[in-house]
Amino acid sequence: MSTILLPRLCVQPLRALAARRALTSLAHRPQPTLLPTRVNHGTHALHRASFWSSSIQREYQKSQSSVQGKEKEKVEVSESSKEQEKRIDRHENIWTIPNALTLSRILACPVLGWSIVKGDFHTATALLVYAGVSDGVDGWLARRFNMRTVLGSILDPAADKLLMTTLTVTLAINGLLPVWLATFIIGRDVALSISAFYYRYISLPPPKTFKRYWDFSIPSAEVRPTEISKYNTFLQLLLMGSTTVAPLLSMDVSTGLQALQYVVAGTTVWSGWSYIGSKTAVKILK
């Protein structure tokens, strides 16, 4: 009996010792934790939220910039349209005394030409004196009472050119003026007239319609005669006036008239070239 119980008493402590060692090893073994996994999931969620937030912010900024760009374009278009409307609607008062005097000179040209052709040099001389006086008076009124207009800057030289053309043609028909000189004078005036029509077209604000082209209350370009052109106009008028009055004089002035003819021929060519090389002869209004 004692022999059987002894081994059993020895085995039980050994088993208890082995169980204790197993528990100790299990206690010291590192246990896996769920905290890192939870932290990783939280970080991933934060990254996703930050990504969508930045994406939404970028889309919002794009939409705002697009809206601002469209509004800026609308403002620019409206401002340009307003400027264009102001430019189109700009008119000036053309019914002034200087313009009326200039118009009267234009209307007197056919009567003057008819008088020279018929040999009525008394009437022709009177109309020529009226043209010279009215030309000086309308310029003085325009400067003194601030009646300058763009139409007047066009009509005044146009009246002088029409008067000059009338005298040149009719005096050449009567044989009082050389044909070659008449060709010089008329050729220059025709070239300047064509240039005036061209500058009127390119300077007219849109829309470029036939009605608006001939509406001279809408200023578009201003003609400024060159310095040599002023002297040339004076010399031409002096020659035409002297030639018109010459048949009424008792003395022979043919030699003086011939010398003046050559001088006028030179100034006519010179003044024509001065318009080509001048940058201030024509001013386009904006």
Condensed to tens digits (0 to 9), the pLDDT of residues 226-277 reads 889 889 988 998 999 999 999 999 898 999 999 999 999 999 999 888 887 7
At residue 222, the 3 state secondary structure works out as: strand
Contact status, residue 103 vs residue 95, Cβ threshold 8 Å? no
Q: What integer best gives the mean pLDDT of the chain?
A: 78
CA 146 to chain centre: 26
Which pLDDT tens digit goes with each residue over 83-96?
554 545 466 777 89
* pTM exceeds 0.75 for this model: no
pLDDT of 24 higher than 50: yes
CA 102 to chain centre: 29
pLDDT of 22 higher than 90: no
Q: 117 CB contacts (<8 Å, ≥6 apart)?
A: 170, 173, 174
Q: 20 CB contacts (<8 Å, ≥6 apart)?
A: none
Percent over 70 (pLDDT), the chain = 67
Find the length of the chain: 286
- Tell me which DSSP letter residue 205 carries: P
At 73, the pLDDT band (50, 70, 90 cuts) reads: low
Q: Which residues of 241-274 are buried (b: 16+ CB within 10 A; e: fewer)?
A: bebbbbeeeeeeeeeeeeebbeebbebbeebbeb
If one counts every other C-beta atom within 10 angstroms of the C-beta of residue 151, the result is: 21
CB under 8 A, 24+ apart: contacts of 137-143: 137/101, 138/97, 138/98, 138/99, 138/101, 138/102, 139/98, 141/97, 141/98, 141/101, 142/96, 142/98
